[in-house]
Structure 1
Amino acid sequence: MTPELSIVIPCYNEQENVRAICAAVTAEAARHAASHEILLIDNDSTDATRDLMRALCAEDPRIRAIFNNRNYGQMRSPTYGIYQAEGAAVIGMCADFQDPPAMIGALVAQWRAGAQIVLGQRRSERASPLLRVARGLGYAFLRRYGDYPVIPGATGFGLFDREVVDTLAAWNEPEPFFRGMLVESGFRLAIVPFDRPERAAGTSKNDFGALASFALSGLAGSAKSLLRLPIALAFVAGGIALPLLVAAILAVSLGGPGLALLGFAVGFAMFAMILLFLGLIGEQVRMLAERSRNLPLVIEAERVNFPPERARPAARTLIRRP
């Protein structure tokens, strides 16, 4: 029987949290949904997470597991898990309790009131001043140049109607920036603010490299108008270069110093700008190349506790739900 609610929980080295998160989610889902399933998707953990997932599946037939054959990153694996869920509504949340299970009732209530997408929005989060500044600048940049509105504090934690999930799965995005795709889709959207708690146990997998990779993929996938920005910047740079050239000619004629240093500074600034936009263009070209290859989001090594009609799909169909 198709469950009313599916809760998808991506995992990577979450042996301290996986059992506790399943217990908390089960309690909340039992209160707010007629029926539910929990879908754990493991991104090739190296600790005891997979053994614990197998035990949970053996204890509760409503808990299912997908084991990836390698680590596919923080964009592809969680999104694939959402596409494999069967519920009339699907909730995506982290395993470390930073997305509070206690919010499940509020998400379901908004969905039943007519919202097709319900996003949790952080009101506050403990972070270093540098990270807060970088995050603020990133949001401002996307608001100015993104292809659709950006919701600050929305990390992708939320509830998605069956129609939304099926629509986004059909887009066949090779590097799905899911939180951006949700807004881009235009379905009815509601926001539920919350105060994000600290991680329950273990350590965060979001080091600087992972966050930078995630940000670049999201930027390339959600701000295609950036391809036109270098043209505007060329006009601006030209408008600056012309008076500088005039000033340089006058300074040389009058025997003034410092022109060589000024020239080097301007040259390096322009070179950095060119490299930045070439990098963004290269990222988008890479995504086009991936799309043309029709690669799956992940390749499964195994799935556990699924009914026969939801058996592991063939490799070429792994992007979409079976």
Structure 2
Amino acid sequence: MLKIPTVSPEITVVIPCRNEELNVEKIAAAVIGQMETVCADFDVLFIENESSDGTIEAIRRACARDPRVKAIINTRNFGQLRSPTHGIFQAKGRAIIGMCADFQDPPELLPEMVRRWRAGTDIVLGVREFEKSSPLHAAMRDMSYSLQRRFGDYPIIPHATGFGLYSRRVVDSIRELNEPEPFFRGLLVETGYKIETIEFHRPPRAAGESNNGFFALLDFALHGLASSSKGLLRAPLYVTFFIGMACVFTLLGALYSMIVGANPRMWLFATLVEGQFGLLFLFLGLLGVHVRLISDRTRGTPLVLERERINFAPED
């Protein structure tokens, strides 16, 4: 007979999901299978972020099959920063593992993460080995890391997506920061607690399609630099990106003019004007982001609003 989860299990595995109908039950079974090899007292918490497929029904089946599987159903899509962080904050484990539902974070690494935590490490992060991607995505990723290293208050760990284990005191420290749009993997570094990494090769998705398109990744990169932004106040940062692309185009035009013996003066003048506007919009965007942060902290906005909880004790 399965042991009913205690109020405070040793480990809670938090799995955010949106449109993961084909993966939910499989990832639950895989995680349970791995955790049972190292831990007798654990639970699994799904946090569902307004799926348009049968993800909620799949979660209900997983919860009905095993009382160690719990779920939080959000009222709407609260984004890829707020919803996963809320799930981590609601976890009861003395250590919390965060991972994706699509098998790109290998469940096979969970036992090693638990062993390192028991040995005294507060944060154990999975770090992807080099993966082949489109030139545009690779350039965007490298630019994001470069900007963060140069201008961020603290460095993030390259190729760490947040997949990992965090001790209870790390999670409590991040909660006290009261970030309205928490860039969690950056906040892990900001806490200053000891971090160990485990390299892994990221496998392809088991099923379904990724929710992270080009603009989702661009948005995530901007959050890493500016901490958070929202609505129209984010628009100047997007304008900066497109002005930067225009600068590259006009510079190429100037180079072509010099190669064919034409006068590149107008091309260079256009590049100068575009660069000035790009810097203007960049600083306007960052200013707007900080204004929004002040507003959100004053409002005390919750990370998410919940519609339903499944398999939680009444006192939870």
Q: How far 1:165 moved relative to its partner?
A: 0.9
Distance 2:265 2:202 in 1: 52
Give the AA of the match of 1:220: A
1:20 aligns with 2:26: yes
Checking the alignment, whether the CA contact within 8 Å between 2:140 and 2:218 is kept in structure 1 is: no
1:270 aligns with 2:296: no
Checking the alignment, whether the CA contact within 8 Å between 1:217 and 1:283 is kept in structure 2 is: no
> SS of the counterpart of 1:210?
helix
RMSD: 1.6
Give the alignment partner of residue 10 of structure 1, picking from 13, 16, 21: 16
Distance 1:279 1:58 in 2: 47
Checking the alignment, whether the CA contact within 8 Å between 1:6 and 1:39 is kept in structure 2 is: yes
- Give the percent of matched residue pairs that are identical in Structure 1 and Structure 2: 52
**Structure 1: runs of 5 or more not aligned:** 223-256, 311-322
1:48 aligns with 2:65: no
Distance 1:40 1:89 in 2: 16
Checking the alignment, whether the CA contact within 8 Å between 2:147 and 2:225 is kept in structure 1 is: no
Distance 2:142 2:223 in 1: 18
Counterpart position of 1:178 = 184
Q: How far 1:63 moved relative to its partner?
A: 0.5
What are the superposed Cα offsets for residues 288-309 of structure 1, whole Å, 9 maximum, x if unpaired? 2111110100000010110112
How does 1:31-42 map onto structure 2 within 5 Å? 31-42=37-48
Q: Which has the larger radius of gyration?
A: 1
Output the TM-score relative to the length of structure 1: 0.82
Give the AA of the match of 2:15: I
What are the superposed Cα offsets for residues 261-295 of structure 1, whole Å, 9 maximum, x if unpaired? 65554233211211122112212221221111101
Counterpart position of 1:68 = 74
Give the alignment partner of residue 92 of structure 1, picking from 94, 98, 105: 98
Checking the alignment, whether the CA contact within 8 Å between 1:9 and 1:40 is kept in structure 2 is: yes
> SS of the counterpart of 1:141?
helix
> SS of the counterpart of 1:7?
strand
Output the TM-score relative to the length of structure 2: 0.84
Counterpart position of 2:155 = 149
How does 1:148-297 map onto structure 2 within 5 Å? 148-221=154-227, 263-297=269-303
What are the superposed Cα offsets for residues 136-174 of structure 1, whole Å, 9 maximum, x if unpaired? 121112111111122111000000001111111121110
**Structure 2: runs of 5 or more not aligned:** 1-5, 229-262
> SS of the counterpart of 1:120?
strand
Give the AA of the match of 1:46: S
* Number of residues of Structure 1 aligned to a counterpart in Structure 2: 276
1:308 aligns with 2:311: no
Counterpart position of 1:126 = 132
> SS of the counterpart of 1:65?
strand
Distance 1:259 1:211 in 2: 36
Checking the alignment, whether the CA contact within 8 Å between 2:117 and 2:124 is kept in structure 1 is: yes
Counterpart position of 1:30 = 36
What are the superposed Cα offsets for residues 74-97 of structure 1, whole Å, 9 maximum, x if unpaired? 000000000000001100000000
